[in-house]
Structure 1
Amino acid sequence: MHIAPYENQNKPIVDADDPMVPLNYFNIVKLKQGEAFEYQVPGYETCIVPATGTVDVDVEGVQFAMLGNRGEDVWDGEPEGVYAPVGAKVQIVCASDHTEVFIAGARYDKVLDPFDVRQHDLVQYGSDDTKTHRKIKHILGQKQHDKVGRLLVSELFTVGQGGWSGFPSHKHDTNRLPDETRHDETYNFRFKPNWGSGLQMLQREDNEPGDAYHIMDGSTVCIDKGYHPCCVLPGYEMYYFTILGGLTQRSLVQYFQPTHAYQIETIPGIKDMIAKFK
């Protein structure tokens, strides 16, 4: 499902118990210097990631100062995040002139400890020849596996202009280990320049026609089931904030579309990328 860009007024874009992606939670919070935002999401662990600006975060009295270093947009600096346990009371205070903050969440039933992530885990793969060149910055990834319940949070950037992402096409909508896990997924897209755009495909069955959504700067896409590659127009760079929430485990097992699975062998570094979603 595509949710067109809109001013959400700091209210969840994907709320708890969403009918399409109940394992996910997503909010965008915009603040000016000195303004505060408080939230609490029962039944969900969350992660605070400034898209731009700097914030001070308080999680049940545990303080994380000066989170975020990006200026104009998500390309202007490196991501940082704070993990907040299930149902925790969180306060975010803007420490810069203004800020835009992503709040990602996944359903979970145990309370863990809060922590911050000041250095991401980078994976770069693909090639210009295969039109799949991109890099992923993991905020809650493999390195945080023992500290998080079901939530995976990352940022994906195309390398260069134009090209495809999420290919070879894959899905993760059914629990049938060892072949696949059920993970709901939510994206928020940005483009550089910001008048760029792209296309999100969603193919429910192999070799059957699917759906396509025109995505723009600020678009949110919720993936409940099906194969879901996306692409960006030539001449533009694409970014998407990625939230994955697992039903029974955190580690993601992707099932690659049989028609295209052989192309895993043609894309440099993709096997390392797959291994990082654990």
Structure 2
Amino acid sequence: MHIPPHDNGNRPIVDVDHPLVPLTYFNIVKLQAGEIYDYRLDGYETCVVPATGTVDVAVEGETFAQIGHRRTDVWDGDPEGVYVPCGTGARIAARTDTETFVAGARYDVQLTPFAVRADELDVVQYGSDDTKTHRKIKHILGANHHERVGRLLVSELYTVGAGGWSGFPSHKHDTDRLPDETRHDETYNFRFRPDYGSGLQMLQRADNEPGDAYHVMNGSTVLIDKGYHPCCVLPGYEMYYFTILGGLSQRSLKQYFQPTHAEQLHRIPGIMDMVARFK
């Protein structure tokens, strides 16, 4: 499902118990310096990540100060975030004008809040210019924080250079059938540089059968409920997408790669290292 760019008025774009992706939650909060935004989600753990600007995040009496240092756009430095446990009140206070992402996953055990600073990110780069798959992933809630989070995975994905593909070799994660695959709902929010760039999100429900394709633009949100889902960006433009994964029975993601393209796993440099980081 594609949700076109729009002013959401600080209301959830993907709310709790969404009919397509009930395991994820997504909101974009836009504040001017000095403004605040309060929220509390029962049954969902969340992560506050400024796309731009700097915020303080208060969680149950503890304040995590000066989160985020990007000014212009998501290419202007590394992300930072704050983990907010389920059923816990959080206050986002804007130190500067800010656009802040709130990512969530269904989980009902209350854990301990913590901040993720730029030097604590788990960063992996894979692919190549030759295979048109060169990209970098900055894991905010990834393998480095596996023991401190319930079901939520949060990362930022960048194409390296202009043009190219991401999410390839095509994979899916819509069925719990370990050890081959896990059920993880997924939500993306796209950005492009320059911001008038655009791309294509494919969603192929079954191997070797026609699927759907969405024209994604700056600010588009895509919900991945089922099927193989590679995406690409127009030549001459860079692409970014904020990624939220919520697991049904476990946090670690087990991707099932599309049989038709399985040989590409051995042709794209670094692909298996990338797979290992979604823990």
TM range (shorter): over 0.9
Partner of residue 221, structure 1: 222
Partner of residue 198, structure 1: 199
Write the distance in 1 (CA, Å) between the matches of 2:81 and 2:56. 11
Write the distance in 2 (CA, Å) between the matches of 1:88 and 1:198. 37
Write the distance in 1 (CA, Å) between the matches of 2:41 and 2:26. 11
* Structure 1 residue identity aligned to 2:26: F
Partner of residue 270, structure 2: 269
C-alpha distance after superposition, 1:54-91 (max 9, x if no partner): 00100111110000000100000110000000111000
* Structure 2 residue identity aligned to 1:143: N
Say which SS state the counterpart of residue 139 (structure 2) adopts.
strand
C-alpha distance after superposition, 1:236-267 (max 9, x if no partner): 00000000000000000000000001100000
C-alpha distance after superposition, 1:139-196 (max 9, x if no partner): 0000100000000000000000000000000000000000000000000000000000
Partner of residue 49, structure 2: 49
Write the distance in 2 (CA, Å) between the matches of 1:238 and 1:169. 18
Partner of residue 74, structure 2: 74
Do the aligned residues in 1 keep the contact of 2:28 with 2:100 (CA within 8 Å)? yes
Partner of residue 99, structure 1: 98
Write the distance in 2 (CA, Å) between the matches of 1:257 and 1:77. 34
Say which SS state the counterpart of residue 259 (structure 1) adopts.
helix
Q: Which runs of 5+ in 2 are unaligned?
A: none
Write the distance in 2 (CA, Å) between the matches of 1:87 and 1:69. 28
C-alpha distance after superposition, 1:209-255 (max 9, x if no partner): 00000000000000000000000000000000000000000000000
Write the distance in 1 (CA, Å) between the matches of 2:52 and 2:89. 22
Write the distance in 1 (CA, Å) between the matches of 2:94 and 2:235. 36
Partner of residue 239, structure 2: 238
Do the aligned residues in 1 keep the contact of 2:191 with 2:217 (CA within 8 Å)? yes
Partner of residue 87, structure 1: 87
Write the distance in 2 (CA, Å) between the matches of 1:261 and 1:81. 35
Partner of residue 16, structure 1: 16
Partner of residue 122, structure 2: 121
Write the distance in 1 (CA, Å) between the matches of 2:78 and 2:168. 25
Q: What is the percent sequence identity of the aligned residues?
A: 74
Partner of residue 164, structure 1: 165
CA RMSD of aligned residues (A): 0.4
Do the aligned residues in 1 keep the contact of 2:42 with 2:108 (CA within 8 Å)? no
Write the distance in 2 (CA, Å) between the matches of 1:167 and 1:17. 29
Q: Which runs of 5+ in 1 are unaligned?
A: none
Partner of residue 173, structure 1: 174
C-alpha distance after superposition, 1:6-55 (max 9, x if no partner): 00000000000000000000000000010000001110000000000000
Q: How big is the shift at 1:109?
A: 1.4
**How many pairs align?**
277
C-alpha distance after superposition, 1:93-139 (max 9, x if no partner): 1001x100000000001000000000311100000000000000000
Say which SS state the counterpart of residue 260 (structure 2) adopts.
coil
**TM-score scaled by length of structure 1:** 0.99
Say which SS state the counterpart of residue 274 (structure 1) adopts.
helix
Say which SS state the counterpart of residue 264 (structure 1) adopts.
helix
* Structure 1 residue identity aligned to 2:176: N
Say which SS state the counterpart of residue 113 (structure 1) adopts.
coil
* Structure 2 residue identity aligned to 1:178: P
Write the distance in 2 (CA, Å) between the matches of 1:159 and 1:198. 15
